[in-house]
Amino acid sequence: MVPASSSSGFDFVVAANRLPVDRHVHPDGSVEWRTSPGGLVTAMESVMQDREAAWVGWAGFAGEAPEPFDDGALRLCPVPLSTEEVADYYEGFSNDTLWPIYHDVIVPPTFHRSWWHAYRRVNERFAEAVAEVAAEGATVWVHDYQLQLVPALLRDRRPDLRIGWFNHIPFPPVELFSQLPWRAAILRGLLGADFLGFQRADDARNFMRACRSVLRATAKGDVVTWAGADDAQLGAAPRRVRAAAVPISIDAQGLRELAGSPEVQDRVTEIRASLGNPKVVLLGVDRLDYTKGIRHRLRAIGELLEDGEIAPPDVVFVQIATPSRERVEAYRLLREEIEGTVGRINGDFSHLGDTAVHYLHQSFGREEIAAFFQVADVMLVTPLRDGMNLVAKEYVTARHDGGGALVLSEFTGAAMELRQAYMCNPHDIAGLKETILRAIRDNPAAKRRRMSALRRRVHNHDVQTWAGEFLSALAAAPDRPAKSSSR
Ligand code: ADQ
């Protein structure tokens, strides 16, 4: 399908830090575009299928951006970032300032004014690029913490647009948010939108409290009213903006079909055999990020091995850790620590041919991940803080055979919905060990009941439901507050 001509512009525009595809240059110079990693693209891919729209984002490499190009019905509009901007806007301000603040300061955030300037400059570039491709009165869906100034920057340029923003990560309590030297500018940037979507009701509440405390705005029900400011800063005009929880989900039907395909079923058998057909397989699948609680999980596994509660070859643990943000110091240190711990555990508890912890620092295709989910008797999702965590929803959906058990941290957005999981507090190592053992040993009928309730929840609230809820809330805004969509 040929997308609507950009001379009149697109009626629907998505803006996200990354395009849904990454460029890979082969040694022979040929170029291949592959699906880019991470939760946002996984979720949005099926929402955007066959939708005539433009997607504005970075192509994943520094330097000049390629010309806009079409991917099916989607027009991809690459935004260029220089090497310094990748370091300052992306690795710096987004991933080393905002990410830690928005995730409970698990590692200390770094504040640099030069990073902030780059963040502002890149947000302007994104706003400019969206303004160029959006048709009169178009709907614009801005994503995530990297683009929090885009709503107001865009409204300045194009007051005709309907602008929504969705936060894939948590929004922090005001006590943490207030540490940000640029807190007022960020809130004013966000208030340029008509509707702001969050993963949990608590995130929306945190945002409202920040508006009250930092901007002295009023917040009633799900509407923030900002009287405006008498200055020349961004977002000085008065605004009424809705903020509510719209929890993200997965393409449940697509994953069920994939998981049940003969190729994936064959892989399930192969993977189990290559692990030595253990009685119990424990699994973790995460980006290698300090928010995901991998260290705490390994600590619990190490102690269970030491206590003799679990042992290979009967019980093995597989940790898949996708490489992530490898140029940020905190991530480099985390990788060293985790790999050191895995080495120590295996040194102490593995035997020739019987490995206690299988550690794979690799990215896999969706088929392979779907196969791993079905191999897992117990899935360990133990983040210290996570906006949602799609892996939890993917796991229960992939287990269409009704088997398995999910151990889930109460600090994930998913815990608000997946209440029949084996809940844990990952900081409480003794409690985490007990929960893992319970998930292994509970009677099969009880486990099946839990899994079936979890699967039903995801089935009834899939990614299409999420996108529908977000877009109808956006269509109802502004000044026509609709009821908060969930919980
Ligand atoms: P992420 O922090 O990236 O997402 P998550 O929600 O778990 O985390 O999504 C990760 C995605 O990557 C899943 O679809 C998973 O299957 C896939 N994945 C993980 N490891 C992989 C590997 N080794 N190979 C291939 N694929 C792998 C952010 C927020 C989350 C929020 C999402 C969506 O941090 O809280 O749920 O956005 O809003």
Do 327 and 403 lie in one domain? The reply is yes
Q: How far is the CA of 309 from the centre of ligand 1 (A)?
A: 30
* Domain range enclosing 147: 10-245
Is the CB of 385 inside a 6 Å radius of any atom of ligand 1? no
Q: Identify whether residues 358 and 423 lie together within a single domain.
A: yes
Indicate whether 47 belongs to any domain.
yes
Mutate to test the pocket of ligand 1, among 391, 458, 466, 470 (most ligand atoms within 8 A of CB): 391
Is the Cβ–Cβ distance between 135 and 10 less than 8 Å? yes
Q: Tell me: do 140 and 222 sit in the same domain.
A: yes
pLDDT score, position 482: 44
Residues 240 and 353 in one domain: no
CB 288 within 8 A of CB 361: yes
The Å distance, Cα 286 to ligand 1 centre, comes to 7
Examine the fold and report which residue of 225, 245, 265 is the final residue of a domain before the chain moves on: 245
Is 435 domain-assigned?
yes
Q: Distance, CA 40 to ligand 1 centroid (Å)?
A: 8
For ligand 1, atom 37, the nearest C-alpha belongs to 39
Q: Which atom of ligand 1 is nearest to the CA of 166?
A: 38
Phi, psi dihedral angles at 158 (to 5 degrees): -135, 80
**CB-ligand 1 contact for 391 (6 Å cutoff):** yes
Q: How remote is the CA of residue 213 from the centroid of ligand 1, in Å? A: 32
Is residue 483 in some structural domain? Answer: no
Q: What tens-digit pLDDT sequence spans the chain (487 residues)?
A: 334 444 689 999 999 999 998 888 899 989 888 887 677 887 888 788 878 999 999 999 999 999 999 988 899 999 999 999 999 999 999 999 999 999 999 999 999 999 999 999 999 999 999 999 999 999 999 999 999 999 999 999 999 999 999 999 999 999 999 999 999 999 999 999 999 999 999 999 999 999 999 999 999 999 999 999 999 999 999 999 999 999 999 999 999 999 999 999 999 999 999 999 999 999 999 999 999 999 999 999 999 999 999 999 999 999 999 999 999 999 999 999 999 999 999 999 999 999 999 999 999 999 999 999 999 999 999 999 999 999 999 999 999 999 999 999 999 999 999 999 999 999 999 999 999 999 999 999 999 999 999 999 999 999 999 999 999 999 998 654 444 444 3
Q: How many domains does the chain have?
A: 2
Q: Which atom of ligand 1 is nearest to the CA of 168?
A: 38
Domain boundary among 202, 227, 245: 245
Q: Could you tell me if 205 and 328 lie in one domain?
A: no
Residues 292, 238, single domain; the answer is: no
Residue 479 lies in a domain: no
Domain assignment of residue 398, yes or no: yes
Tell me how far the alpha carbon of residue 258 lies from the centroid of ligand 1, in angstroms: 18
Nearest CA to ligand 1 atom 19: 286
**Does 4 map to a domain?**
no
The answer to whether residues 264 and 380 belong to one domain is yes
Asked whether residue 210 falls in the same domain as residue 296, the answer is no
> What is the predicted pLDDT for the residue at 399?
97
158 within a domain of the structure (yes/no): yes
Q: State whether 351 and 211 are in the same domain.
A: no
Q: Which of 245, 274, 309 is the last residue of a domain?
A: 245
Q: Is 203 a pocket residue for ligand 1 (Cβ < 6 Å)?
A: no
Complex ipTM: 0.98
What pLDDT does 478 receive?
A: 66
User: Is the CB of 291 within 6 Å of ligand 1?
Assistant: no
* One domain, residues 130 and 235: yes
Q: Do residue 108 and residue 201 come from a single domain?
A: yes
Residue 468, in any domain of the structure: no
CATH number at residue 41: 3.40.50.2000
Question: Do 117 and 134 have their domain in common?
Answer: yes
Please report the atom of ligand 1 found closest to the CA of residue 320: 23
Q: What is the best residue among 165, 255, 287, 372 to mutate for testing ligand 1's pocket, by most ligand atoms within 8 Å of CB? A: 287
Cα separation, 335 vs 340, whole angstroms: 8
